[in-house]
Amino acid sequence: MSRFASCVVSRGVTRAALVALALVGGVASLPAGAAEAPDSAKGRWVTISEPVTSQVKCDWPGLTAGVTVDRSNGDVFMIAAGQGIWKSADRGASFTRVDGKAVGGRCETGYSLCADPNGGRLYCFMLDGSSGCTLDGGKTWERLAQQGRGWDYAAVDWSAEKPQVIYGLEHESGGKIWLSSDGGKSWKSLGVDPTIGVGWPFGVGVADAKTLLRWRGKAGIERSLDLGATWTKVSDEVPVSHVMVVLKNTCYWLGEKGLLVSKDKGATWAVQGQPVQAAWGPYFGKDEKHIVVVGKSGIQETTDGGRNWQFVAALPDKLKELKVHPGWYLNFAFDPVHNIFYASQMGKPTYKYER
C-alpha cells in the first residue's frame, strides 16, 4: 500500500495542492486546525473520502462503498472499493487502512457492515472481495471463509463474547442462504431462494446462539429455535430493514408500520411509537430511546423511543441521483459521541453531516 497524503477540505486549497502534500505513510489526513476552518462545515454534507480515493485505485464502481461507526467512541470505518477498510478516529479528518488486507470488495447493501451496537466489534460482509471481522475496535482482523462472489448482508450473534453464529445471504449466486456456527470459518447452506435479488424483500436476525429470525416478502416474521432446520411464523408484522438489531436483549426491526420491537428473543413483536417511513437502521444514540433511521426522504430521529420523530436532514444531493431499492447500495451511520451522521453509496464519495 502506498503512503500518502494530507488533505484540507477548506476554502482556497486546490486539488493539485492537496496531491502535492503526499507523504510517506498509509494515512490520509487533514492538517492540524483544518477541522476548525472559518467556513465551518456544520449543518451541511461535506465529503471526507477524497484523501483516500485520490491516492488509491479503487475497483468498480470506484470511490467508496460503505461506512459505519463504532457507537461507543465515534470511530469511523469506511470502505474504499476493492481497497479495504479505512479507520478514522478524528471524525473523518484522517484515515488509515487497518484491515491488513483481510477485507476487499464492496458493500452491496446498507447492512453489509454489521457493527456490534455496543461498540468494539465489526463484521464486514463484502461482495466481489474477501470478508473479515475485528473484535477489538479495528486493531486486528480475521478473514472469513468465502462463498461464491460474497455477501449482501448478514446478522451476527453479538450475545457471545466471540460471536460464532452468523446468518446471511447473497443473491449473485442464485439467492443462497448461509449459516456459520464457527464465526465465519465455515458455512452451511440453508437452501436457495431464487426470488432473492436486488431489492427483493428478505431479512435476517440472530437473537442468540440457537435462535434465528427472518422475514420474506409480506409473509411476516418467522422464527427458528434450531438454527434454521424448522421455522414458525410468530408475527404478521412486515419488516422492511434487512438485518435485525439487538440492543440490551431487545430485538429491533424497521417495519411497514414503524419500529418493530421484541423483548423475548423474537417470540412476539409489537410496533413501538409512531409510524416512521425508513429502510435503513435503526442506529442507536446515547441509549435505547435515542434512535436514528433513514429513508429516501432523509434522516429522522427520536429521543423517546419512537413516540415522536423529527426530520434531521435530507440525503446528500449526489446520493439521491440513484433510484435505490430500500436498504440497498446506500450506507449510513450515526456517531452519537460527536453528533455526526455519515453516508456512503457504491461509486460515490463518503459524506458527513455534523450538527
179-213 pLDDT tens trace: 999 999 999 999 887 666 555 678 999 999 999 99
pLDDT of residue 11 exceeding 70, the answer is no
pLDDT value of residue 18: 38
Q: Tell me the residue range of the domain where 241 lies.
A: 15-354
Which comes out higher in pLDDT, residue 83 or 33?
83
Question: Which DSSP helix (H) or strand (E) runs through 50?
Answer: helix 50-53
**Rounded Cα distance, 291 and 191, in Å:** 34
- pTM (2 decimals)? 0.87
Instruction: Give the end-to-end CA distance of the chain in Å, rounded to a whole number.
Output: 34
pLDDT of residue 166 exceeding 50, the answer is yes
Question: Which cell goes with 286?
Answer: 446515547
DSSP line for 225-242: SSTTSS-EEEE---B-SS
Residues shown for the chain:
355
Question: Which cell goes with 246?
Answer: 439487538
CB 171 within 8 A of CB 148: no
Between the CA atoms of 103, 107, 108 and 111, what dihedral angle is there, to the nearest 10 degrees? 110
pLDDT of residue 12 exceeding 60, the answer is no
> Does some domain include residue 44?
yes
**Rounded Cα distance, 180 and 227, in Å:** 10
Question: Which cell goes with 155?
Answer: 446478522
> Does some domain include residue 9?
no
pLDDT of residue 123 exceeding 70, the answer is yes
> Does some domain include residue 10?
no
Radius of gyration of the CA atoms of the chain, in A: 19
CATH number of residue 312's parent domain: 2.130.10.10
Tell me what the mean pLDDT of segment 115-119 comes to.
Answer: 96
- Among 23-27, 268-272, 314-318, the minimum mean pLDDT is found in 23-27
Q: What are phi and psi of 350, to 5 degrees?
A: -100, 140
**Rounded Cα distance, 197 and 279, in Å:** 17
Number of compact structural domains in the chain? 1
pLDDT of residue 36 exceeding 70, the answer is no
> Does some domain include residue 105?
yes
> Does some domain include residue 110?
yes
Strand order in the sheet with 291-295: 280-284, 291-295, 298-302, 310-313
Which comes out higher in pLDDT, residue 220 or 1?
220
> Does some domain include residue 4?
no
pLDDT of residue 313 exceeding 60, the answer is yes
**Closest listed residue to residue 62, CA positions, set 354, 346, 355, 351:** 346
Q: HSE on the CB side for 173, CA within 13 Å?
A: 17
CB 76 within 8 A of CB 88: yes
CB 30 within 8 A of CB 93: yes
| Average per-residue pLDDT for the chain | 87
> Does some domain include residue 2?
no
> What Cα–Cα distance (Å) separates residue 136 from each residue in 70, 102, 121, 349?
11, 15, 6, 27
**Rounded Cα distance, 313 and 289, in Å:** 20
What SS3 state is found at 94? strand
> Does some domain include residue 315?
yes
